[in-house]
Amino acid sequence: SVGEYHRTTIEMVPSKTLEAEQEKAEKDRLAEIKASLSDDELQEIIDKTTELKKLQGAEDPPEARATIPSLELNDLTRETTEYPIDVKENENDSGVTVVRHELGSTSGIAYVNFGVDLSGLSLDDLPLLPLMTRIMTDTGAGEYSDVALQRRIGTHTGGVDVDNMITGVKKEGAAQDAVGEGKHFVSKMFIRGKATSDKVDELFSIFNLILTDANLDSQSKVVEMLKETRTRLEASVQSAGHSYCNMRLSARHSVPGYIGEKMSGLTYLESVKEILKQAEEDWPALLARLEKIRSTILDETSCRAGMVLDITGDKNVLTKIQPSVDKFLNEIPGKPSEAKYHDFYAEEHPWVAEAEKEMNEIVPLDDEGFVVPTQVSYVGKGGLLYEPGESVSGSSTVISKFLRTGYLWDNVRVIGGAYGGFCTFAPSNGFFSYLSYRDPNLATTIDVYDATGDALIAAAEELENDPDALATAIIGAVGDLDSPLSPDQKGWLSLQRWLRREDAEYRQKFRDECLNTKPSDFREFGERLKNMKKGCLAVVSSKSAFEAAAEAGKSMTLKEVV
């Protein structure tokens, strides 16, 4: 009521013993239930559990599978889908490469991506890039406040975002299907947006504004962003720990993987805490780092050589917006330069040497456990199946899909009780990983992973006598290759293919190998799984789960995360 001055202050403090208390309560409750059961009742539960596991592990009989409508291999398109691309280097003598994708119809919309090179930055400043990309759209720019900038973007465009891209590329002279060393990659910041053709002038103006004049000096806003990022990451580790396990595993086996972990994984979480402390206690120093990042990527003498303007639209759109393109190329920062630009396809990326030193210290080849307050586990194991220079067949796509939807699904999810069990494989670097999601087990899941090679070899024998099952596996994998794409996704995929220097002949060869997968390919892949190189673990779980795993012979180096 008016004039009422009483108040109550409630301070909530998290309990450090809650997990142990809940575990003890559950054990006591189960022990009480067990004590109330007779020997016959206990045996009945055991028998039913045994029968359930037998049913869960059994394959559906051929006659049951035959009742499900399915495609035939002859129904599949054998040709790979290609998307149009036209590359024009140094357009209008601007020093900028312009890439165009002319599609049949984009309904009058232009999809635009503008990339700038990041390779001149220091490796120490890479954890600042996710913050930098948020600042560029969220703190205002030039004469526009944060609200006014968002209003302008919303009024004239279909949205503007800023992302960082680190992607491996084919080394000059290397075979297209050969595994790379992980030392050749491109690093770019892309401003991405879309607008109708009559609004592209506005879109380009916004691109230029946020690139050159974003309000970096906004301490309160930056501190708020960093606190939000820290909270989001800590919550994400507990709810999506499998993705952090995968990033950690990848970081141990390639420089691009390490950089990805440094900018979005568990290492990044630690960096965010340090950056937040600097933002609160020494803002001028952090501001100077942000300003240096901007001045480096917009260096007057060299920035244009690393710029890429990528446009997707139909013929009418591309023709109509050409004057806007000419104007944009004339107004962006930098000057055309004769200076030699780093050749990422022939030379190692400038970050490689320093990154490899950091990898040995920060992400060594070790079995790591990351402790968080949780009642489930996220279990990851990964390593290399192929050495640099070895060829990877398209059949690897079929086999990976087969494992995800078969052996791992049955043993980790159905029998093990996890919400998900799957695997990933990257033909570009030979890295393979097993992952589980919201898993009630830890040690037994690792045992399932370790038995995968033998299971795959046994499956190869069965597939020799079951061509229909082999065809089903191939069809499932091709379905992933042929996912429908929107116009902007087609242009973006085509750009990525060009950046990687991946040619159409290689893509067709990969698809042919996928469609012609044989049981012997399963057997060969299974042998590689049994002989995985540099295999190691990364697990997110609770302290008690790690203690139980250690008792089962699965010891790890533990690190507190939350």
pLDDT band for 288, please (50, 70, 90 cuts). very high
Q: What is the model's pLDDT at position 13?
A: 85
Number of Cβ within 10 Å of residue 415's Cβ equals 18
Task: Concatenate the DSSP letters of all residues of 200-230 into one string.
Answer: HHHHHHHHHHHHHHB----HHHHHHHHHHHH
Q: Which residue has the higher pLDDT, 20 or 290?
A: 290
The count of other CB atoms within 10 Å of the CB of residue 434 is 30
Q: Which long-range contacts (CB under 8 A, 24 or more apart) does 460-463 make?
A: 460/519, 460/520, 460/522, 460/523, 460/526, 461/519, 463/519, 463/522
Lowest mean per-residue pLDDT among 6-10, 78-82, 288-292, 467-471: 6-10
Whether 462 and 526 have beta carbons less than 8 Å apart is answered as no
b/e per residue, 485-515, with b = 16+ CB within 10 A? eebbebbbebbebbbbbbeeebbebbbebbb
pLDDT band at 279 (very low <50, low <70, confident <90, very high): very high
Count of alpha carbons within 13 Å of 293, Cβ hemisphere only? Answer: 25
pLDDT digits 0-9 by tens, 99-125: 999 999 999 999 999 999 999 999 999
Q: What is the pLDDT at residue 184?
A: 96
Given its phi and psi angles, is residue 270 left (phi above 0), alpha (psi -120 to 50 degrees) or beta? alpha
Q: Please give the share of the chain, as a percent, with pLDDT higher than 70.
A: 99
What residues contact residue 141 under an 8 Å CB cut-off, 6+ apart? Answer: 149, 209, 210, 213, 214, 215
pLDDT tens for each residue of 294-313: 999 999 999 999 999 999 99
- Strand 557-560 versus strand 368-371 pairing type: parallel
DSSP letter for 171, please. Answer: P
Provide the angle, in degrees to the nearest 10, between the axes of the packed helices 467-481 and 504-515: 150
- pTM (2 decimals)? 0.89
| Rounded Cα distance, 270 and 230, in Å | 9
Position 58 pLDDT exceeds 80: no
Identify the pLDDT of residue 71: 79
Per-residue pLDDT, 1: 53
Nearest alpha-carbon partner for 266 in 174, 380, 180: 380
Give the pLDDT score at 49: 87
Torsion angles phi and psi, residue 336, rounded to 5: -60, 140
367, amino acid identity: D
What does the radius of gyration of the chain's CA atoms come to, in whole angstroms? Answer: 27
Compute the distance between CA of residue 445 and CA of residue 533 in angstroms, rounded to an integer. 20
Backbone CA torsion sign across 111, 116, 118, 119: positive
- Is residue 548 within 8 A of residue 436, CB to CB? The reply is no
Say which CATH topology domain 365-560 has.
Cytochrome Bc1 Complex; Chain A, domain 1 (3.30.830)
Q: How confident is the model at residue 3, as a pLDDT?
A: 67
Q: Which residues of the chain does CATH 3.30.830.10 include?
A: 86-355, 365-560
The CATH-assigned architecture of domain 86-355 is: 2-Layer Sandwich (3.30)
pLDDT in tens, 489-548: 999 999 999 999 999 999 999 999 999 999 999 999 999 999 999 999 999 999 999 999
Nearest alpha carbon to residue 561 among 318, 337, 268, 174: 268
- What residues are paired with 538 via a beta bridge? 368, 380
Query: For residue 40, is pLDDT > 60?
Result: yes
The whole-chain average pLDDT of the chain stands at: 94
Longest dimension (CA), the chain: 88
How far apart (Å, rounded) are the C-alpha atoms in residues 42 and 21?
27
Tens of pLDDT, residues 86-96? 999 999 999 99
Q: Do the beta carbons of residue 468 and residue 62 sit within 8 Å?
A: yes
Per-residue confidence (pLDDT) for residue 267, from 0 to 100: 96
Per-position DSSP letters for 50-76, written without gaps between them: HHHHHHHHSPPPHHHHTTS----GGGS
pLDDT at 422 over 60: yes
Q: Cα(184)–Cα(172) distance, rounded to whole angstroms?
A: 9
Q: Indicate the angle between helix axes 241-251 and 266-281, nearest 10 degrees.
A: 100
Q: Which residue has the tokens 């040995």?
A: 360
> pLDDT-derived band of residue 2, with 50, 70 and 90 as boundaries?
low
pLDDT exceeding 90 applies to what percent of the chain?
Answer: 86
**Structure confidence by residue, pLDDT tens digits, 118-167:** 999 999 999 999 999 999 999 999 999 999 999 999 999 999 999 999 99
List, for residues 431-483, the tens digit of each pLDDT value.
999 999 999 999 999 999 999 999 999 999 999 999 989 999 999 999 888 88
Question: What would the pLDDT profile of 322-350 be if each residue is shown by its tens digit?
Answer: 999 999 999 999 988 777 889 999 999 99
